[in-house]
Amino acid sequence: MTWRMAWRNLWRHRTRTLIMTSAVAFSYALFLVSMGMGDNGHAQMLEAAAEGAGGDVLVHADGYWDNRSSDLVIRNAQTVLNAVESAAGVEVAIPRVLVNGLVSSAAGNRPVMLQGIVPEREIALQDYAEDLEAGEFLTESTRDDPLILGATIVEKLKLELGDRVVLTASDPEGEVTRALFHLTGIVETGLPETDEGLALTTLDAAQTAVAMDGMLTQIGVIVADGATPDSVAAAIHAAADVQGNGLEVMTWREAIPEMVAFIEIDDAFLYIYIVVIFAVVAFAIANTFLMAVMERVREFGLLNALGLRGGGVARLLLAETVLMTLLALAVGFTLGYSGHLAMDHWGIPVGGWGVEDMEISGANFADLVMRSTVNPGKWIMATLAVALITIGSALYPAYKASSLAPSEAMRFYE
């Protein structure tokens, strides 16, 4: 009975109902979309951070990460790699040889960090092949001394595909060695950092060049779904003889604390932002509701005079509010979710605003595209909070309406 009356009441004041529903629905939808964008930025940062670090979990010879010293290498590489791969929660283990050195041509020399990689495994983290500007990628090359360089290095060294390039670097014994490579590919990403510094070769070629046969600098680990970097790091600790092999195992959070700091600060600002948006939404909704109920005090007085008890009026009003809230949340959710889908589908590329370089804590965010992500927990919280505000802001007027004597109520002028 109450519910049917309430439903009819809603449609008897069509304009008012529409205004109030749209107020709640729009505010709620905007709230959802801003949360979706914020959470997505956060998720992308985590991904870029792990990618920049070289994996979710990193394994090196003990002390390598702090010193980057060419003598700190994983000596019995195959045993360690097998042990890491067998650890629980490891999706892929990516072996790498990293060499700090100079590449030289007749035109000069440039400092690079040469990465000897296994392309089939590296692709799980990032695909260098898709940025290949000219030549062929490591997987297609038949040479045993292939070299892929960033476009800026190639330009500065005045190189052409097929040219000989000399790498000068220290081997693990501290001897300075020189090795010959042939330029087989050029990568151009538009990111200065990559174009000026990228040097890739195969793991075998890098090992041969700096006398590191059977040795590795780094094993980057990507964790499987459901596992966390911390749990995988612990599993690797247990599986590989960390002490005996002289290893260090670190999660990306331990490897790049400055990125973690940025993400945490960014999170704090996102949180403040959400609270402010919510406060503004709350003001708008509470206002509209209070107004709509106050306008009807006389109507309630009449109902009261006709024999509907105070409690009945309050119940009717609350029933109306609940119905309207459900309606508004349904419309708002549809709008907000569409907004989220649109944002996620098209996205706003940061690079499209004329930025080539956006370094934060060592990672480059210039190729970032702003999209949207649903965090179910947050969305449910937001929905509950909005429902609470709307129903809460109807409680006071409902109480007021039910406590007025009919004669008073019918003479009520705000």
Contact 390, 284 (CB under 8 A): no
Contact status: 214 vs another protein (CB under 8 A): no
Contact 124, 222 (CB under 8 A): yes
- In 49-197, the DSSP E strands lie at 57-61, 90-105, 108-117, 132-135, 146-150, 164-170, 176-187
Tell me, residue by residue from 264 to 283, as one string, x for binding to another protein by CB under 8 A and - for no binding: xx-xx----x--xx-xxx-x
Contact status: 88 vs another protein (CB under 8 A): no
Binding residue (CB under 8 A) for another protein from 5, 242, 358, 391: 358
- Parallel, antiparallel, or unpaired: how do β-strands 132-135 and 176-187 relate? antiparallel
- Parallel, antiparallel, or unpaired: how do β-strands 108-117 and 198-202 relate? parallel
Q: How far is CA 334 from the centre of its chain?
A: 24
Binding residue (CB under 8 A) for another protein from 132, 260, 323, 331: 260
Instruction: Tell me the two tokens of residue 155.
Output: 């330009």
Contact 81, 216 (CB under 8 A): yes
- The stretch near another protein (CB under 8 A) out of 2-10, 50-58, 61-69, 237-245 is 61-69
Contact status: 334 vs another protein (CB under 8 A): no
Contact status: 164 vs another protein (CB under 8 A): no
Residue whose entry in the numeric block shows the structure tokens 């070629």: 205
Instruction: Give how far Cα 361 sits from Cα of 95, 156, 191, 364, Å.
Output: 24, 27, 15, 8
Binding residue (CB under 8 A) for another protein from 180, 261, 380, 388: 261
What value does the CA radius of gyration of the chain take, rounded to a whole number of Å? 32
Sign of the C-alpha dihedral, residues 107, 108, 112, 115?
Answer: positive
Looking at the Cβ atoms of 118 and 358, the one nearer to another protein is 358
Binding residue (CB under 8 A) for another protein from 1, 4, 15, 243: 15
Binding residue (CB under 8 A) for another protein from 2, 7, 16, 79: 16
Instruction: Provide, rounded to whole angstroms, the least separation between the CB of residue 234 and another protein.
Output: 21
Taking Cα atoms as reference points, which of 22, 23, 27, 15 lies closest to residue 295? 15
Binding residue (CB under 8 A) for another protein from 141, 189, 288, 325: 288
Instruction: Tell me the two tokens of residue 104.
Output: 């030289």
Contact status: 68 vs another protein (CB under 8 A): yes
Binding residue (CB under 8 A) for another protein from 3, 8, 12, 19: 19
Contact 56, 222 (CB under 8 A): yes
- For 178, residues 6+ apart whose C-beta sits below 8 A from its C-beta are 166, 167, 168
Contact status: 166 vs another protein (CB under 8 A): no
Contact status: 12 vs another protein (CB under 8 A): no
Q: How many residues bind another protein (CB under 8 A)?
A: 60
Contact 25, 17 (CB under 8 A): no
Instruction: Provide, rounded to whole angstroms, the least separation between the CB of residue 156 and another protein.
Output: 6
Looking at the Cβ atoms of 47 and 258, the one nearer to another protein is 258
Looking at the Cβ atoms of 127 and 357, the one nearer to another protein is 357
Contact status: 284 vs another protein (CB under 8 A): yes
Binding residue (CB under 8 A) for another protein from 326, 330, 342, 355: 355
Contact status: 102 vs another protein (CB under 8 A): yes
Contact status: 346 vs another protein (CB under 8 A): no
Binding residue (CB under 8 A) for another protein from 9, 27, 141, 189: 27
- For 257, residues 6+ apart whose C-beta sits below 8 A from its C-beta are none
Taking Cα atoms as reference points, which of 273, 267, 380 lies closest to residue 41? 267
Q: Alpha-carbon distance 46 to 131, whole Å?
A: 22
Instruction: Provide, rounded to whole angstroms, the least separation between the CB of residue 356 and another protein.
Output: 6
Tell me, residue by residue from 111 to 130, as one string, x for binding to another protein by CB under 8 A and - for no binding: x-------------------
Q: How far is CA 161 from the centre of its chain?
A: 37
Looking at the Cβ atoms of 132 and 291, the one nearer to another protein is 291
The SS3 call for residue 413 is: coil
| Nearest-10 crossing angle of helices 257-294, 14-53 | 180
Contact status: 190 vs another protein (CB under 8 A): no
Instruction: Provide, rounded to whole angstroms, the least separation between the CB of residue 53 and another protein.
Output: 14
Binding residue (CB under 8 A) for another protein from 69, 177, 208, 231: 69
Q: Which residues bind another protein (CB under 8 A)?
A: 15-16, 19-20, 22-23, 26-27, 30-31, 34, 66-69, 100, 102, 108, 111, 156, 170, 174, 192, 257-262, 264-265, 267-268, 273, 276-277, 279-281, 283-284, 286-288, 290-292, 295, 350, 353-362, 414
